[in-house]
Amino acid sequence: MSTNTGLTETELIAQMQCGDMAAFDAIYHTYFQAVYGNILRLTHDAAATDDIIQEVFIRLWEKKDSLDVARPLGNWLFVVSYNRSMNYLRDRQREKLAPEQLATSVTAAENEWQITEAQLQLIEEAIGQLPPQRKRVFTLCKIQGKTYAEAAETLNISRYTVKEHITKANDFIREYARMHPDKAFQVGVPLLAYLAATC
């Protein structure tokens, strides 16, 4: 992904791994709107979204050294923000439980960041199976948070074509999860369902 700094995403990640805060800021500004929108669609709570997005980018800085520069950063940010949003929703639900129910409930927060790698792998496998143009459309709209109009302009195609690509990609991802139940179970079907359902 290109950024407004003139550097590629790979170059920015490499600089961030060397402790360059300007590179981190460029990544933050590139992805903020898309990540914020994904979190808000899940939580429906602007204050919680503000907190979660800060946690996600703090986590990015903390984990910068372990990032694979060859992998799209948008996928990592999508998975981490999804996990954190789900944890927030589970915590809110737990607050409503009676004390005896709370004592027997499983604390998901302990595993909060442990399944990120498995989720990334499954998402990348599913997206990787898409035809090239469909993959570009899906990545622009679902991972980078572009509108159909913005994706259409970027790729020089019609909004109708963008919509068709998204519909077919969504159908494929749902089918991919259905055909790989062992992998989907590992990472949780809701993530793939959310990825395939968000606009």
* Predicted confidence (pLDDT) per residue in 48-98, tens digit: 999 999 999 999 999 999 888 888 898 889 888 888 888 888 888 777 665
* Overall average pLDDT of the 101-122 stretch: 54
**pLDDT higher than threshold 80 for residue 45:** yes
User: How would you label 46-85 residue by residue, b for 16+ Cβ within 10 Å and e otherwise?
Assistant: eebbeebbebbbebbeeebeeeeeeebbbbbbbbbbbbbb
* Residue ranges per structural domain of the chain: 1-107, 115-199
Q: Which band of pLDDT confidence, cut at 50, 70 and 90, is reported for residue 195?
A: low
Nearest to 76 by CA among 26, 132, 9: 9
Confidence band of 14 (pLDDT split at 50, 70, 90): very high
Is 1-107 a domain of CATH 3.40.220.10? no
By C-alpha distance, which of 3, 1, 82, 74 is closest to 38? Answer: 82
Give the pLDDT confidence of 145-188 residue by residue, as tens digits: 788 999 999 999 999 999 999 999 888 887 887 777 665 545 55
Distance (Å, whole) CA 74 – CA 50: 18
Which pLDDT score, from 0 to 100, does residue 106 have?
44
Longest CA–CA span in the chain (Å) reads 58
Fold of 115-199: Arc Repressor Mutant, subunit A (1.10.10)
Predicted pLDDT at 60: 94
**pLDDT band at 102; cut points 50, 70, 90:** very low
The reported pTM is 0.66
**What pLDDT is recorded for position 61?**
94
Q: What is the mean pLDDT of residues 108-124?
A: 60
